[in-house]
Amino acid sequence: MPASRKPKPCIANPNRRNVAIIAHVDHGKTTLVDGLLHQSGVFRSNERVAERAMDNTDLERERGITILAKNTAVHYRDVLINIVDTPGHADFGGEVERTLAMVDGVLLLVDASEGPLPQTRFVLRKALERALPPIVVINKIDRQDARPGDVLNEIYDLFIDLDATEDQLDFPVLYANSRAGTATEDLATPGRSLQPLFDAILQHVPAPIGDPNAPLQALVANLDASDYLGRIAIARVFEGQVRLGDEVAVCKLNGQVEETRITKLYAFDGLKRIEIEQAGAGDIICLAGMESITIGETITDREMHRPIPPIHVDEPTVSMIFGVNTSPMAGREGQYVTSRNLRERLARELVGNVSIRVEETDSPDQMKVVGRGELQLSILVEMMRREGYEVQLSRPEIVTREVDGRVVEPVEELIIDVPEEYQGVVIAQLGTRRATMTKMVNHGSGRVRLEFRIPTRGLIGFRSQFLTDTRGTGIMNHLFAAWEPWHGPIPGRPRGVLVADRTGVATSYALYNLQERGVIFVHPGTQVYEGMIAGENAKTNDIDVNVTKEKKQTNMRASTADEAIRLVPPRILNLEEALEFINEDELVEVTPASIRLRKRILAANRRPRRDQEGSGPRA
């Protein structure tokens, strides 16, 4: 036997598989999990189960996207398959990165029409870096415009581009319709169930490796919480055994070791967690009763401390200042409004969210929150407002760094798919945002695919412009590509705003007279204050306006009841739109009931004027 031969790794448990489902946003991960749950007999035949059962938070259901990675487990034959559903949106990439630390293989889903997109590349790169064997699932083959053959070629190209090894290139391929719950190895033979996929998981995802008799080593890869159990650590056991009542050590991220006892132990089973007495190498488990535990920490033997190196995730690139609400209406609609409330809430977020950072600023009332993108930050704000918080937010900014005395900034790869007729306007728009086109493909279908490199900065505010420019028909995707030297100034919002000049209630009469000047953001009857933004000016300057003006009449009518007046419906900005809209001298005020835009300095006589054309570059 050659001396270099390594000892054969020990299979921890032949009846376990741990697999993550990864893909670009909307390619059908959560829908596929529905199918796997149904067909493994998790539900009673008459049980009513919501579509996309794993997307169980309010925000996920409302937006139809997965935000948090989540575990489930199904039985197939005599094997327990732990499955982790991951989010596909780039802003939640940190969730995918830490999930991969838990599994032994991945299902890479690719939409049969869209083909690989930026996040497909990101998640596949992360999986290949960890040497996780992939099973490729070309999904949505029922789509009218499905082109599975081409898509498979594009997937090969992507693997080669990512320097996949020979072995990795030898991936198995399945064709699926997740919505119908079918998969097949051969397009000529329509699938009838997901059995080929179950079989592929058993065959191609390796059983977990690890020594069940070694000292315990389990990595906390995710956190969950329940009202009843408090904080729940989701951990992958790599070595050894863990039993209820065991005394264990926790290797903390700060290098300290804490001793504790295992008081509550669970395994995943369908959509539930079931209590178990013990688990061993290869298992994915939940532990409750460890209040200070956090992601990246290792639960290990009391005598033999063997920490696993912490999970590294990509650096966040977008920041926003979260401040105590200072508007005259502060505290009216929210329950938690103080700087202490804000601090505590953000500290809590840090525990479960490895891809954000919170930094102090010069002011005790303001915290800088750094995340992966505007969506990730706005989801955090959205959760906070539902919990009763008020907060005021600055315009999102990108993070810069200094390398060898030069300022560098994040640059993204942007892929756009638009009908031919909008190509010109989109290219022109992106030109002003310092994008450079890298590729242009015309499939001859009437749509073109354009690829660009663009500073992350240039993307702020682009999405809404893009949707307007393409009448909602454009599709855009982007992904962090590299840090590059500063690309130079990018012009800011071309228009000024209409600023309320006094406190009061907006009237139809006043809004009617103002609507020719620009786009109105408030309904009649809305409470306004001096310095609040009531609309966008059609010109580049800001103007102070009285939106509370009443019609001069002898018998005054109620402000909202001027029925004779025909008002253009106001444009009500949602949180993301508001954040994209505001300039540096403006803020978004968020309360559980309202989203208001305002000037940073409210008093008109103290506010620097923005009445020159094109007031300066967007930093």
Ligand X SMILES: Nc1nc2c(ncn2[C@@H]2O[C@H](COP(=O)(O)OP(=O)(O)OP(=O)(O)O)[C@@H](O)[C@H]2O)c(=O)[nH]1
Instruction: Report what 23 binds from ligand X, Mg ion, none; CB cut-off 5-8 Å by kind.
Output: ligand X
Per CB under 5 A, the segment of 21-29, 235-243, 540-548, 585-593 that binds Mg ion is 21-29
CB 2 within 8 A of CB 87: no
Per CB under 5 A, the segment of 24-32, 299-307, 522-530, 567-575 that binds Mg ion is 24-32
Give whichever of 229 and 479 is closer to ligand X, judged by the CB atom: 479
Does residue number 66 form part of the binding site for Mg ion (CB under 5 A)? yes
Q: At 377, give phi and psi (nearest 5°).
A: -70, -40
Helix axes 118-129, 148-161, angle to 10 degrees: 50
Short-list 511, 526, 548, CA closest to 329: 526
Instruction: Report what 353 binds from Mg ion, ligand X, none; CB cut-off 5-8 Å by kind.
Output: none
Instruction: Report what 27 binds from Mg ion, ligand X, none; CB cut-off 5-8 Å by kind.
Output: ligand X
Q: Which DSSP letter does residue 104 get? A: S
Whole-angstrom CA distances from 226 to 61, 232, 286, 287, 544 are: 19, 7, 12, 12, 49
Does residue number 70 form part of the binding site for Mg ion (CB under 5 A)? no
Per CB under 5 A, the segment of 29-37, 132-140, 166-174, 434-442 that binds Mg ion is 29-37
Q: Please give the structure tokens belonging to residue 42.
A: 């998790």
Q: Please give the structure tokens belonging to residue 93.
A: 């990439």
Give whichever of 25 and 101 is closer to ligand X, judged by the CB atom: 25
Residue among 29, 372, 434, 596 that touches Mg ion (CB under 5 A): 29
Q: Could you give the count of Cα atoms lying within 13 Å of 432 in the half-sphere of its Cβ?
A: 15
Cα–Cα distance measured from residue 217 to residue 208, given in angstroms and rounded to the nearest whole number: 14
Short-list 504, 511, 510, 508, CA closest to 528: 504
Q: Which DSSP letter does residue 349 get? A: H
Q: How far is the CB of 127 from ligand X (least distance, A)?
A: 16
Give whichever of 95 and 586 is closer to ligand X, judged by the CB atom: 95
Instruction: Report what 177 binds from ligand X, Mg ion, none; CB cut-off 5-8 Å by kind.
Output: ligand X
Q: Tell me the residue type at 268.
A: F
CA angle 459, 463, 466 (to 5 degrees): 110
Strand pairing class (543-545; 497-500): parallel
Q: How far is the CB of 499 from Mg ion (least distance, A)?
A: 41
Q: Tell me the residue type at 358.
A: V
Task: Tell me how many residues contact Mg ion (CB under 5 A).
Answer: 3
Q: How far is the CB of 474 from ligand X (least distance, A)?
A: 18
Give whichever of 66 and 583 is closer to ligand X, judged by the CB atom: 66
Give whichever of 29 and 231 is closer to Mg ion, judged by the CB atom: 29
Q: How far is the CB of 51 from ligand X (least distance, A)?
A: 7
Q: How far is the CB of 574 from ligand X (least distance, A)?
A: 18
Q: List residues binding ligand X (CB under 6 A).
A: 23, 25-31, 52, 65-66, 87-89, 139-140, 142-143, 177-179
Return the residue matching tokens 């259901």. 61
Does residue number 598 form part of the binding site for Mg ion (CB under 5 A)? no
Give whichever of 13 and 30 is closer to Mg ion, judged by the CB atom: 30
Give whichever of 66 and 429 is closer to Mg ion, judged by the CB atom: 66
Q: Please give the structure tokens belonging to residue 461.
A: 């505010």
Q: Please give the structure tokens belonging to residue 240.
A: 């050894």
Give whichever of 57 and 540 is closer to Mg ion, judged by the CB atom: 57
Q: At 508, give phi and psi (nearest 5°).
A: -60, -40
Give whichever of 51 and 359 is closer to ligand X, judged by the CB atom: 51
Please name the helix (run of DSSP H) or strand (run of DSSP E) that holds residue 408, with its range, or none: strand 406-419
Residue number, nearest CB to ligand X: 88
Instruction: Report what 426 binds from Mg ion, ligand X, none; CB cut-off 5-8 Å by kind.
Output: none
- Which residues in this chain contact Mg ion in the complex, by CB under 5 A? 29-30, 66
